[in-house]
Amino acid sequence: MSEIEIRERRFDAPESQALIRAALADLGARYGGSGDETPVDAAEFTPPDGVFLVAYLDGRPVGCGGWRSHGGDGDTAELKRMYTDPAVRGRGVARSVLAAVERSARDHGRKQIVLECGDRQPEAIALYTSAGYERIPNFGFYKDAPGCLSYGRTL
């Protein structure tokens, strides 16, 4: 089994953007439209206010995820743009990315992490709940949308 390597990358780097486009296409297939209209600025994923990570398997980018500051207290990170290439799902990529995102947020002083996803993402929901995330009040761009699910956990 190949080793998963996780590297910090700019949100607007070519390999990051290729994975983000794939993530949005996956969301679009599940929900319609562009997949996610949430306003996102690449600068939000620049330390110390956020970080974006890319997972590599056999030298090929196969997954991603990042965090950005959430709220004004400096204690909370928001998980964004988690994605794993379908060809390598089930090999621990998402769990590795999630752990690395959490470590990074904690290392930058965040005490909790929150995320929003939709009810048509059973794989994501299973990952988050198995990693200790619990339902929280909905927030963000889709907080009032049918099927929006928000989760959080202490880091």
pTM equals 0.96
d(CA 30, CA 86): 14
Tell me which residue of 151, 1, 4 sits closest to 85, measured CA to CA.
Answer: 4
Average pLDDT, the chain: 96
Distance of CA 23 to the CA centre of its chain: 10
What does the pLDDT look like over 6-16, one tens digit per residue?
999 999 999 99
pLDDT at position 2 is 77
What does the pLDDT look like over 124-141, one tens digit per residue?
999 999 999 999 999 999
Could you give all domains of the chain from N- to C-terminal order, each with its CATH number? 4-154 (3.40.630.30)
What does the pLDDT look like over 60-108, one tens digit per residue?
999 999 999 999 889 999 999 999 999 999 999 999 999 999 999 999 9
